[in-house]
Amino acid sequence: MADVSTLPNGLTVAYDEVGAGFPFVLLHGFPHNRSLWAPQTSALIEHGRCIAPDLRGFGESGREGPYSMEQYAEDVVGLLENLGIERAVVGGLSMGGYVTFAIWRAKPQLVRALVLADTRPGADSPETRRKRLELIALARESGPGAVANAQISGMVGATTRAQNPALVNGLHQMLAGAPVEGIIGALQAMMDRRDSTELLPTIDVPTLIIVGEEDALTPVKESRAMHAAIPGSRLEVIPGAGHCSNLEKPAAFNHVLGEFLSALNYA
Ligand code: MLT
């Protein structure tokens, strides 16, 4: 069962917390929930205090607006403050990465290190914005199941699609269970998000970039460009994984994340 925290802004946030020691927070993508990180929260327990929240509108967190990357960032910062955490490793996958950039922009002093998984720094192109509007209409007219049907094939790589139908079905269930308010709010927040490319050279904390080799939504070339722009960053490309690299190849993902966390000097 989730832990629950009520933020100063009134939002109720559900989160999983395991382990002890230095905190690291993991932010899910769209339209996921905190269970995306189940393969990490269980395996990385010896590396610190892992906190995986449901972002506003997803899982068991409150669904009221407003929705924006800045609002998600404020929610995560509020949760960490409620938990008495002054500094944490902050990581996110895809949309969780967009939130991670917003946290870096708003409160860099909170960030001990960054993990950017299957994400990109850029804002939406006009074509992507058009697709998001179509997805908003689909969510309104046909509900989360239709959004899940539209999204599922891009969520995983060809290897997973061919070899692991159980994983694809489980992920489809997660997507189809997303609340419609959260789906629409997140799509609007992603459409309106700022371009974070100019932030990359300002990142002066250890940064791990992870991407599935078969990621079609945030392709490897985006991660290579981030790696080139973030001083001293480390890039890991996970073979046989697509967009949800942490779910598709958990052992490889946990190996690089665990190594990164244990190499940090927590003093
Ligand atoms: C995600 O997984 O969070 C989404 O694919 C991000 C996006 O649509 O830009």
CATH number for the segment(s) 3-122+195-263: 3.40.50.1820
Q: What is the DSSP letter of 215?
A: -
Which residues have CB under 8 Å from 184's CB, separation 6+? 136, 139, 140
pLDDT at residue 266, as a whole number: 55
130-142 tens-digit pLDDT: 999 999 999 999 9
Atom of ligand 1 nearest to the CA of 244: 2
State both tokens at 209.
């970039």
Q: Is the pLDDT of residue 164 over 50?
A: yes
Average pLDDT, the chain: 97
Q: Output the pLDDT for position 200.
A: 98
**Looking at residue 196, what is its pLDDT?**
98
Pocket test of ligand 1: the residue of 217, 222, 244 to mutate, having most ligand atoms within 8 Å of its CB, is 217
pLDDT (tens digit per residue) in 29-83: 999 999 999 999 989 988 999 999 999 999 999 999 999 999 999 999 999 999 9
Confidence of residue 238 (pLDDT cuts 50, 70, 90): very high
Q: Are strands 23-27 and 88-93 parallel, antiparallel or unpaired?
A: parallel
- Cβ of residue 190 lying under 6 Å from some atom of ligand 1: yes
Strands 3-6 and 88-93 come out as: unpaired
| DSSP result, 161-207 | HHH-HHHHHHHHHHHHTS-HHHHHHHHHHHHTPPP-GGGGGG--S-E
Domain spans, the chain:
3-122+195-263
